[in-house]
């Protein structure tokens, strides 16, 4: 399983990368390569040009400010996972990254790469979606910011154009009264989830819930975010929220799990993720 | 018309190699065929089995998911670079021998590099941490029991040598005291 | 005083170089070789209309392209049927490159030879094959229905029908106080060693010799097959197994198309040629071991004693059947396990499907057999409301009934006659190890906490050390070093260590002076191969016998040299000496010099020997019937297999919500007779259990109705990582020696895997209260079963 031949360009700056993209007829961008290189080796992708971003140091950043966390295109999963400031500002990042494949893959793969790859079974696209994050792209014609809700359009398909480089993604800070959690069931440790849920629960002081959002992965062609705020009963009880999610989503069956089992897991994991996010918020105590 | 090649330099186990490779040459193939360092093995070429794991600037990566041109100028440690300074087996290698941690040996280099980096970051793992450390590598022969034992044994052997760096070329300091291997009844229960 | 090596868990001699990364696996060799890529069928069943190579011809670095039209003579014929059988009435074999028709996705259609694999794949991707798709037959149901045929001239897709019986099972069932009818389905898996197949060939024009390295379990098999195909004398062909990264059965198949084609190309092109398959190729063009459907009728009494057992099953043998009926025959016979049903009938049909070959994988049909028998026994226990161990005890063959003849023929054509084993004792050990009697309390406590836990057990008997023979050669060199060779092969079992242990004991030499070579036809040309848990029994025995011959010769010569009686001599640390008068001694190396009456003294060893005088000056220096040199060569060829046995128990916990299955404990009691190296024995058990966990809970071959293998990669074929394994595998041993070989040993290579599907099914059923009749089982499938039985609590 060896890749087909390609032209190789190794820019040193983001501008050079963008220029290379606009010049090449049929190019792919290489950052972590953990998803792309198997596709090249299996000859499922055969770009005429490969633009290698691994020297574009200026994009290897994790920047934390009061508003949230900004992750540059070349920041590795492991780098973000280790970043304590990022974990404090938005805990769902570290929670989700711990579930992404295995540490060796995380040493090389990038957060931006995973999001741009738009695998509906992956954790990070769902995290971006449930947090209402944004994606910044740059091309010869300028930059644009794309909301997570507009970003994913199909399996392995996002709205990034052929001549655009995703330079960073941004997730907002966790609110002072919010909690996060992510729960998934996979066949083996480190495998893609059969079903997964990333949850953000925002409680007010009286124990009422201001906002309950759940981002689902492995349930559809893209990550799906459900607002379940009105489906939570006093207790809190998550049963109705779980049922609502099960009714709203229409997962498919494949060789690993039937559609009905996935739907069942949607219910189970909704309860578990919401409960955990709720506890998480109360524990951090504002 | 021959395929265009790129001149790159790889530092492998402390030695600088100059190569001319096509852009599509996987690092696994560059190591194995261009440098004839065949200790790194290829089990799947899609990043799942871990047999090809090498250390890139000290961190485990899948050589089959890396292009050689992409790591031009960087430091790579392979299984061939895990020996002690005196040429004896390094602590992780010795632990595998003590614990019968290999059978066919094909997956072993990937475990050795992974564990070398793992113990550098966590020198005294619990049994659960030892399992987690090797959770991304496949073995078909051993059922993993003795590999977990080998991780714990390697931690012991490292501690015996004063906890110093456990491989010549793991991307960190070069100090290498002579390993004083414990006697036979020291450990390594399968 | 030399310590006895047999029984010593010494570290392996193989490890040092492997740990340093100095192993020599197939792809590590032949850096100068041309490399191969294959064009393979994307269709499960199709006619080949045209192969157009034009677009590939200008790929820089291309050397040659071959299709079936380029093959001559025996090369153009179908590959051999390795194991014929009278009931195999419709054997069908592939061609080395497909001729006119393809019968599974992955079948080889063309071979490209180029300067390296990258270029070879470039050229292969430009070869355009035009197919006319035919309806594919996928799965046992489709094969039985035979609406479509895999091979047009094989009616009903039936390769073979076979029946064996002992007594009148139908009558016994009819007359029995209790009866059950049960259906079982078991999908097995595949060996999937971490190293795939590979072959390297060099043709030496000057000496007209072919040298082949292959990642194979049988170098002698490959040699014979290739010599025949290329019309060479056996003596012109050497085959060597290098380091092999796992076999587990799949690498016993020979010759692979690639082995034959690479050898041909090497000779034709006058260049070294190498083929190393990639992972996807291994999934679609090596071999699997797959599905069986069983229908069981059993009659039993109030104690659960089986009065009559009738088993009918259907076996999926894939598109071709080079390995014959071994797998279903093993299933048929090993199904009996440690039990003695009053009467037994077994009947099977082996069916073609448009899928990859089915050949033995560790267990070789025994996993299916144990599943069927053990689930049947559990069903009997459930029906009677009695303890599952009690029913087994009531059915066991007793130790004083050994040897026990089942009245059937085993896979080697020999009587199925158990020679040894103490099944009640093994069960006693297992019950103690797992805490069988105490488990009910634990289960109740867990239930009170809302947890679901269950315990299962399963027993098996394994025919090991199957013939026809293996050989050993032991050669003491003048340096005192001992060179040992046997023809079968190694894939990580530690043969070089255990065979050295045997020789060290038999000859009385330090183990560091013993060097063992396996799998090299230059060193030992008569052999069968490594499979069926036979290597220790077969080659171990042969090597022991060979060492004894060498020892006898050494003592004879030493007695002459020392002017002592042979009976007074012992060999300790490589020195022959008079017992009680150790100063009267002669080193084995010196004995070796004396054994070879030379005109010339080459070295110190020969000079040292001159202090001794041997032989009768009035007789010829090499006596009649004798040979120069201190060597022993012998063969071990038993009359039947020797039967090992074991019993496993597992405790599982199932998640009431997600139906995930967690292994809490895994216990093994195992009897392979005396153990040469207990550490290696345990390693083999661990590995087998690992594959057992995979086969029971994670692995299957997911073919769709078009015959496409949907999970032809490690991403979707779920081999377990450490995280899927139990924390610990608890092992206890029983040693009932085999009376059939000089060492009293039995094989164990497959022990870890055989009862695994059965034991997990038993434990999950105990946890869930739902009959588990089909394996493997995933959480999704358990969830579906819960819904069917109304126990999902939704």
Residue C9 lies in a domain: no
Query: What are the backbone angles phi and psi of residue A266, rounded to the nearest 5°?
Result: -55, -45
Is the predicted pLDDT of residue B175 greater than 50, yes or no? no
If you average pLDDT over residues B45-67, what whole number do you get? 98
E strand intervals along C452-604: 452-464, 470-476, 482-486, 514-518, 569-572, 575-578, 581-587
| Contact check, Cβ <8 Å, C122/A4 | yes
| Contact check, Cβ <8 Å, B24/A42 | no
Do C663 and C713 belong to one domain?
yes
Spatial contact of C142 and C703, defined as CB atoms under 8 Å apart: no
Is the predicted pLDDT of residue C394 greater than 60, yes or no? yes
C753 to chain B: closest CA residue: B143
DSSP state of C537: I
ipTM: 0.96
| Contact check, Cβ <8 Å, C686/B93 | no
pLDDT tens per residue, chain A (286 residues)?
Answer: 999 999 999 999 999 999 999 999 899 999 999 999 999 999 999 999 999 999 999 999 999 999 999 999 999 999 999 999 999 999 999 999 999 999 999 999 999 999 999 999 999 999 999 999 999 999 999 999 999 999 999 999 999 999 999 999 999 999 999 999 999 999 999 999 999 999 999 998 777 899 999 999 999 999 999 999 999 998 899 999 999 999 999 999 999 999 999 999 999 999 999 999 999 988 755 4
Out of C292-296, C594-598, C629-633, least confident range: C594-598
Q: How far is C755 from chain A (nearest CA, A)?
A: 22
Q: What is the DSSP string of C42-88?
A: SSSSEEEEEEE-GGGTT-TTEEEEE-GGG--GGGGSBPP-SS--TT-
What digits encode the pLDDT tens for the residues C109-160?
999 999 999 999 999 999 999 999 999 999 999 999 999 999 999 999 999 9
Residue C16 lies in a domain: no
What digits encode the pLDDT tens for the residues C683-738?
999 999 999 999 999 999 999 999 999 999 999 999 999 999 999 999 999 999 99
Task: Please name every residue paired with A136 in a beta bridge, in sequence order, or none if there are none.
Answer: A145, A168
Do C473 and C570 belong to one domain?
yes
Residue C24 lies in a domain: no
Query: Length of chain C in residues, anyone?
Result: 794
A4 to chain C: closest CA residue: C122
Task: Please name every residue paired with A62 in a beta bridge, in sequence order, or none if there are none.
Answer: A71
Find chains touching chain B: ≥3 CB pairs under 8 Å.
Answer: A, C
Q: How far apart are CA A90 and CA B80, in angstroms?
A: 41
Name which of B125, B136, B138 to mutate to probe chain A: the one with the most chain A Cβ atoms within 10 A of its Cβ: B136
Q: What is the DSSP string of C214-242?
A: E--S-HHHHHHHHHHHTT--GGGEEEE--
Assigned superfamily of B91-161:
[2Fe-2S]-binding domain (1.10.150.120)
The pLDDT value recorded for residue C793 is 55
Do C497 and C524 belong to one domain?
yes
Q: How far apart are CA C537 and CA C636, in angstroms?
A: 9
What digits encode the pLDDT tens for the residues A25-34?
899 999 999 9
CATH of span B5-81: 3.10.20.30
3-state secondary structure of C700: coil
Domain of residue C503: give its range. Answer: 468-636
Q: Which residue has the higher pLDDT, C589 or C609?
A: C589
3-state secondary structure of C445: helix
Q: How far apart are CA C459 and CA C395, in angstroms?
A: 12
| Contact check, Cβ <8 Å, B25/C118 | yes
| Contact check, Cβ <8 Å, C658/A185 | yes
Q: Tell how strand B53-56 and strand C198-204 pair up.
A: unpaired
Task: Give kind and range of the element (H or E) at residue A139.
Answer: strand A134-139
Residue C676 lies in a domain: yes
Do C752 and C693 belong to one domain?
yes
Q: Determine what percent of chain C is predicted with pLDDT higher than 90.
A: 92
The CB-side HSE value for A171 (13 A sphere, CA atoms) comes to: 27
Do C501 and C424 belong to one domain?
no
Q: Which residue has the higher pLDDT, C4 or A249?
A: A249
Task: Please name every residue paired with C34 in a beta bridge, in sequence order, or none if there are none.
Answer: C273
The pLDDT value recorded for residue C3 is 67
Residue spans of the domains in chain B: they are: 5-81, 91-161
Name which of B63, B78, B100 to mutate to probe chain C: the one with the most chain C Cβ atoms within 10 A of its Cβ: B100
Q: How far is A52 from chain B (nearest CA, A)?
A: 7
Task: Give kind and range of the element (H or E) at residue C633.
Answer: strand C630-636
| Contact check, Cβ <8 Å, A257/C779 | yes
Spatial contact of A123 and B80, defined as CB atoms under 8 Å apart: no
E strand intervals along C402-451: 404-409, 415-418
Q: How far apart are CA A250 and CA A262, in angstroms?
A: 9
Task: Please name every residue paired with C358 in a beta bridge, in sequence order, or none if there are none.
Answer: C288
Q: List Cβ neighbours of A215 (8 Å cut-off, separation of 6 or more).
A: A126, A127, A129, A130, A131, A197, A198, A199, A223, A224, A225
Is the predicted pLDDT of residue C479 greater than 80, yes or no? yes
**Which of C117, C716, C721 faces A255 most closely, judged by CB atoms?**
C716
Domain count, chain C: 3
Q: How far apart are CA A227 and CA A214, in angstroms?
A: 7
Q: How far is B105 from chain A (nearest CA, A)?
A: 20
Structure-block tokens of residue C448 = 């009170």
Query: What are the backbone angles phi and psi of residue C185, rounded to the nearest 5°?
Result: -135, 130
Find chains touching chain C: ≥3 CB pairs under 8 Å.
Answer: A, B
Cα distances from A88 to residues A12, A85, A174, C531, in angstroms, run: 31, 5, 8, 57
C776 to chain A: closest CA residue: A256
How many Cβ atoms sit within 10 Å of the Cβ of residue C635? 16
C724 to chain A: closest CA residue: A188
Residue C282 lies in a domain: no
Residue C596 lies in a domain: yes
Question: At which residue do the structure tokens 């559990």 appear?
Answer: C378
Q: Determine what percent of chain A is predicted with pLDDT higher than 70.
A: 99
| Contact check, Cβ <8 Å, A257/C659 | no
Give chain B's contact residues with A (Cβ, < 8 Å): 3, 6, 22-24, 26, 29, 45-47, 50, 53, 56, 59-62, 64-67, 69-71, 114, 135-136
Structure-block tokens of residue C244 = 């092999």
Do C644 and C628 belong to one domain?
no
Do C361 and C488 belong to one domain?
no
Cα distances from C692 to residues B18, C404, C749, C757, in angstroms, run: 46, 28, 13, 7
Structure-block tokens of residue C44 = 């499960």
Burial class (CB in 10 A: 0-12, 13-18, 19+), C435: middle
pTM for this entry: 0.95
Do C669 and C705 belong to one domain?
yes
If you average pLDDT over residues C606-624, what whole number do you get? 79
A101 to chain C: closest CA residue: C715
Do C452 and C309 belong to one domain?
yes
| Contact check, Cβ <8 Å, C778/A256 | yes
CATH of the domain at C48: 3.90.1170.50
Do C423 and C552 belong to one domain?
no
Residue C184 lies in a domain: no
Q: How far apart are CA B3 and CA B1, in angstroms?
A: 7
Name which of C667, C682, C683 to mutate to probe chain B: the one with the most chain B Cβ atoms within 10 A of its Cβ: C683
On chain B, the residues whose CB falls within 8 A of the CB of C687 are 103, 140-143
Residue C743 lies in a domain: yes
| Contact check, Cβ <8 Å, A189/C787 | no
Domain-terminating residue out of C586, C606, C636: C636
What digits encode the pLDDT tens for the residues A124-160?
999 999 999 999 999 999 999 999 999 999 999 999 9
Do C95 and C243 belong to one domain?
yes
Q: Where are the alpha helices (DSSP H) in chain A?
A: 14-23, 36-41, 77-82, 84-89, 91-97, 103-106, 111-117, 123-130, 148-151, 239-248, 259-284
Do C332 and C423 belong to one domain?
yes
Task: Give kind and range of the element (H or E) at residue C179.
Answer: strand C178-186
What is the pLDDT confidence band of residue C792, given thresholds at 50, 70 and 90? Answer: low
| Contact check, Cβ <8 Å, B105/C686 | no
Task: Give, in degrees to the nearest 5, the angle at Cα C269 between C264 and C271.
Answer: 100
A194 to chain C: closest CA residue: C780
The mean of the pLDDT values for chain C is 95
**Which of B3, B60, B114 faces A5 most closely, judged by CB atoms?**
B3
The CB-side HSE value for C443 (13 A sphere, CA atoms) comes to: 19
């Amino acid at each position: 399983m060896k890749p087909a031949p390609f032209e190789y360009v190794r820019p040193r700056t983001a501008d050079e990368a963008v220029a290379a993209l606009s010049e090449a007829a049929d190019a792919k961008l290489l950052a972590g390569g953990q998803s792309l290189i198997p596709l090249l080796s299996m000859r499922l992708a055969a770009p005429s040009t490969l633009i290698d971003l691994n020297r574009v140091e200026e994009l290897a950043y994790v920047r934390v400010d009061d508003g949230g966390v900004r992750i540059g295109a070349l920041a590795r999963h492991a780098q973000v996972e280790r970043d304590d400031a990022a974990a404090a500002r938005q805990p769902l990042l570290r929670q989700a990254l711990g579930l992404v494949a295995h540490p060796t893959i995380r040493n090389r793969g990038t957060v931006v790469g995973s999001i741009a790859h738009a695998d509906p079974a992956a954790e990070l696209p769902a995290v971006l979606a449930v947090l209402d994050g944004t994606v910044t792209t740059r091309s010869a014609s300028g930059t644009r910011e794309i909301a997570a809700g507009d970003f994913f359009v199909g399996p392995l398909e996002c709205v990034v154009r052929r001549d655009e480089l995703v330079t960073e993604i941004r997730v907002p800070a966790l609110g002072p009264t919010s909690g996060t959690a992510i729960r998934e069931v996979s066949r083996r440790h480190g495998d893609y989830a059969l079903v997964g849920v990333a949850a953000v629960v925002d409680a007010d002081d009286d124990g009422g819930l201001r906002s309950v959002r759940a981002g689902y992965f492995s349930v559809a062609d893209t990550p799906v975010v459900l607002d379940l705020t009105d489906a939570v009963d006093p207790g809190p009880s998550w049963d109705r929220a779980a049922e609502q999610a099960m009714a709203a989503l229409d997962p498919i069956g494949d060789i690993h799990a039937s559609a009905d089992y996935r739907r069942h897991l949607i219910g189970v994991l909704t309860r578990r993720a919401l409960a955990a996010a709720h506890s998480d918020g109360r524990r951090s105590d504002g | 018309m021959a395929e265009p090649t790129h001149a790159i330099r790889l530092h492998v186990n402390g030695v600088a190699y100059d190569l001319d490779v096509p852009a599509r040459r996987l690092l696994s193939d560059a190591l194995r065929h261009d440098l004839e360092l065949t200790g790194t093995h290829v089990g799947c070429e899609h990043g799942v089995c871990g047999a090809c794991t090498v250390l890139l600037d000290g961190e485990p990566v899948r050589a089959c998911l890396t292009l050689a041109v992409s790591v031009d100028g960087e430091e790579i440690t392979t299984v061939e670079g895990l020996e002690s300074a005196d040429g004896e087996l390094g602590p992780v290698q010795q632990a595998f021998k003590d614990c019968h941690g290999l059978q066919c040996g094909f997956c072993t280099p990937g475990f050795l590099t992974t564990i070398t980096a793992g113990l550098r970051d966590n020198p005294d793992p619990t049994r659960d941490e030892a399992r987690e450390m090797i959770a991304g590598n496949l073995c078909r022969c051993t059922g993993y029991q003795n590999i977990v034992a080998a991780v714990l044994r390697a931690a012991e052997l490292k501690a015996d040598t004063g906890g110093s760096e456990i491989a010549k070329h793991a991307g960190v300091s070069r100090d290498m005291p002579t390993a004083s291997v414990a006697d036979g009844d020291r450990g390594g229960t399968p | 005083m030399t310590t006895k090596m047999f029984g010593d868990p010494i570290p392996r001699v193989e490890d040092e170089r492997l740990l340093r990364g100095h192993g020599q696996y197939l792809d590590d060799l032949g850096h100068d070789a041309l490399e191969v890529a294959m064009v393979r069928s994307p269709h499960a069943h199709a006619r080949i209309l045209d192969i157009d190579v034009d677009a590939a011809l200008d790929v820089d670095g291309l050397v040659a392209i071959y299709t079936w039209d380029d093959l001559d003579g025996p090369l153009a014929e179908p590959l051999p049927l390795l194991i014929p059988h009278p009931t195999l009435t419709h054997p069908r074999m592939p061609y080395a490159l497909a001729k006119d028709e393809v019968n599974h996705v992955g079948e080889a259609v063309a071979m490209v030879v180029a300067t390296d694999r990258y270029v070879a794949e470039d050229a292969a991707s430009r070869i355009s094959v035009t197919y006319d798709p035919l309806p594919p037959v996928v799965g046992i149901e489709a094969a039985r229905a035979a609406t479509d045929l895999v091979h047009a001239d094989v009616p009903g897709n039936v390769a073979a029908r076979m029946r064996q019986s002992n007594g009148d099972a139908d009558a016994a069932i009819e007359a029995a106080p209790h009866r059950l009818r049960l259906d079982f389905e078991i999908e097995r898996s595949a060996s999937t060693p971490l190293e795939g197949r590979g072959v390297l060939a060099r043709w030496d024009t000057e000496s007209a010799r072919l040298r082949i390295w292959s990642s194979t379990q049988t170098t002698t098999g490959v040699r014979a097959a290739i010599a025949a195909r290329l019309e060479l004398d056996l003596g012109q062909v050497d085959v060597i197994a290098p380091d092999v990264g796992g076999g587990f059965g799949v690498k016993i198949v020979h010759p692979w198309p690639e082995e034959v084609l690479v050898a041909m190309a090497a000779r034709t092109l006058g260049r070294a040629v190498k083929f190393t398959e990639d992972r996807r190729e291994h999934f679609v063009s090596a071999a699997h071991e797959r599905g069986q459907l069983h229908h069981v009728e059993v009659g039993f009494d109030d104690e659960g004693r089986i009065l009559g057992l009738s088993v009918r099953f259907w076996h999926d043998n894939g598109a071709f059947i080079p390995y014959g009926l071994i797998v279903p025959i093993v299933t048929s016979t090993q199904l009996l396990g440690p039990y003695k049903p009053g009467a037994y009938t077994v009947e099977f049909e082996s069916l073609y499907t448009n899928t990859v070959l089915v050949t033995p994988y560790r267990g070789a049909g025994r996993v299916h057999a144990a599943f069927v028998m053990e689930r049947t026994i559990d069903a009997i226990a459930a029906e009677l409301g009695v303890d599952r161990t009690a029913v087994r005890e009531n059915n066991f063959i007793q130790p004083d009934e050994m040897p026990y003849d089942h009245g059937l023929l085993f896979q080697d054509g020999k009587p199925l006659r158990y020679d040894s084993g103490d099944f009640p004792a093994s069960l006693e050990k297992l019950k103690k190890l797992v805490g069988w009697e105490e488990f009910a309390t634990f289960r109740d406590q867990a239930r009170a906490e809302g947890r679901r836990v269950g315990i299962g057990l399963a027993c098996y008997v394994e025919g090991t050390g199957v013939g026809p023979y293996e050989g050993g050669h032991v050669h003491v060199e003048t340096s005192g070093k001992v060179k040992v060779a046997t023809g079968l092969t190694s894939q990580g079992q530690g043969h070089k260590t255990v065979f050295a242990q045997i020789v060290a004991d038999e000859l009385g030499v330090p183990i560091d002076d013993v060097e063992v070579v396996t799998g090299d036809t230059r060193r030992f040309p008569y052999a069968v191969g490594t499979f069926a848990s036979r290597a220790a029994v077969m080659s171990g025995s042969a090597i022991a016998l060979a060492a004894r011959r060498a020892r006898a010769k050494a003592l004879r010569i030493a007695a002459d040299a020392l002017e002592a009686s042979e009976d007074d001599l012992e060999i300790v640390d490589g020195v022959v000496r008079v017992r009680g008068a150790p100063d009267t001694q002669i080193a084995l190396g010196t004995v070796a010099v004396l054994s070879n009456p030379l005109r010339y003294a080459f070295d110190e060893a020969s000079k040292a020997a001159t202090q001794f005088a041997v032989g009768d000056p009035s007789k010829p220096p090499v006596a009649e019937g004798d040979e120069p040199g201190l060597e022993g060569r012998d063969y071990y060829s038993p009359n039947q297999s020797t039967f090992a046995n074991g019993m496993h128990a597992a405790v599982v916990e199932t998640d009431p919500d997600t139906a995930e299955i967690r292994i809490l404990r895994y216990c093994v009691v195992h009897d392979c007779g005396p153990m040469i190296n207990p550490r290696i024995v345990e390693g083999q058990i661990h590995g087998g259990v690992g594959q057992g966990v995979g086969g029971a809970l994670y692995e299957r071959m997911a073919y769709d109705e078009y015959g496409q293998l949907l999970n032809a990669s490690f991403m979707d074929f779920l081999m377990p990582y450490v995280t899927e394994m139990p924390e610990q595998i608890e092992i206890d041993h029983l040693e009932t020696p085999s009376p059939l070989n000089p060492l009293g040993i039995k094989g164990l290579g497959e022990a870890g895997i055989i009862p695994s599907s059965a034991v997990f099914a038993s434990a999950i059923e105990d946890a869930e209260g739902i009959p588990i009749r089909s394996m493997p089982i995933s959480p999704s499938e358990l969830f579906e079963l819960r819904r069917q039985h109304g126990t999902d609590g939704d």
